[in-house]
Amino acid sequence: MAGTVGTLVHWAFRRVVGAAEQQEGVAGGQSPNKTTFRIGSRKSKLAMIQTEGVMATLQALNPTYTFELHTMETIGDKVLDVALSKIGTKNLFTRELEVLLVSGDVDLVVHSLKDLPTTLPPGLALGAICEREDPRDAVIFRADLSGSYSNLASLPAGSVVGTSSLRRTAQLLALYPELVFESVRGNLNTRLKKLDSSTNDGAELMRYSALVLAAAGIHRMGWKDRIGEYLDPQYCPYAVSQGSVGIECREGDRATFALLRGIGHKESTYRCIAERACMRVLEGGCSVPIGVFSKLSADRTIHLRGAVHSLDGKVYAKADCTARCTSEAEAEAAGLTLARHLNTAGAKEILDKIPRTLGPTAKPT
């Protein structure tokens, strides 16, 4: 518990700078004199840590304002016995919250940005992107194995590794074909419990040797000491916007845009805009095997890398892009360029085959 609280306090009060350029010059909407704001969030522990961090920062910046928290479960929280890729929609963790936003029941919603589709419903906008956590993937080994293995390469052939991501499975199959990758669903607490006490169809046998998860979530939960390996994004590029928290609001809501002006992080915003632009062209979602890497240099150059894998990891398309990036428009343009390079390298052909091959033999996770 102490680790979680410490992580929350550290994350909540990191100063974030800049403002999303889309917030400037917004016309219409609510009065900027509004001082009570309702914030929507999922109920999971990680979602609450992120949302409470945003609330704490907003409260610190606006001590006379009132913030009310409204939580709910989404379809992605409720359907836990089916792989994400099989449920059949991109907004598994956002749709119900967006309904509240459109109806006016909440004024803003805090999301893990990688869960938010790149095309938002009419009337909604991405109001701010907070400072990004470590976007890499990380490996947690089962508690009784953590002293024996330090990386996936050291696991015996046939070891079962759990993940909820098609992207991770495809990338890791290409690197470690001797390992078995299987779906594991649930919030982070549930998945960690499954790892440390899992059984095989009721038999007294530990099933998973390790889990592959987003490092950001592990850090925010206060479990950094459980990480045995960080995956190198050169070989395992991370999910689009992984590690980022995005705040969604209504277009034209002047009061909420003004509220969010102080918490947008410019570098994180540019990187995520570029990554999301690339994914939008490729028509991918968080359950499709698209991986990215981004870096914004001191000279305001953005470096992008993308990779698309077939489900079995045997076929892939990779591409790089470097461009000047001093605005959101330039970040968007860089992402579109990366998408074109990826399609030239064969990404579209790979992705076009996924709906036809996504079945029992593909073992999607």
Q: How many CA atoms lie within 13 A of 256 on its CB side?
A: 26
Contact status, residue 127 vs residue 54, Cβ threshold 8 Å: no
- Cα 243 to chain centroid, rounded: 6
Q: Count CA atoms within 13 Å of residue 95 on its CB side.
A: 9
SS3 letters across the chain: CHHHHHHHHHHHCCCCCCCCHHHCCCCCCCCCCCCEEEEEEECCHHHHHHHHHHHHHHHHHCCCCEEEEEEECCHHHHCCCCCHHHHCCCCCCCHHHHHHHHHCCCCEEEEEHHHCCCCCCCCEEEEEECCCCCCCEEEEECHHHCCCCCCHHHCCCCCEEEECCHHHHHHHHHHCCCCEEEECCCCHHHHHHHHHHCCECCECCCCCCEEEEEHHHHHHHCCHHHEEEECCCCCCCECCCCCCEEEEEECCCHHHHHHHCCCCCHHHHHHHHHHHHHHHHHCCCCCCCEEEEEEECCCCEEEEEEEEECCCCCCEEEEEEEEECCCHHHHHHHHHHHHHHHHHCCHHHHHHHHHHHCCHHHCCC
- Residue of 77, 81, 107, 115 marked catalytic: 115
Query: How many C-beta neighbours within 10 Å does residue 277 have?
Result: 23
Our answer to whether residue 105 is catalytic in this structure is no
Using CA atoms, how far apart are residues 339 and 307, in angstroms rounded to an integer? 10
- List, by residue number, the catalytic residues: 115
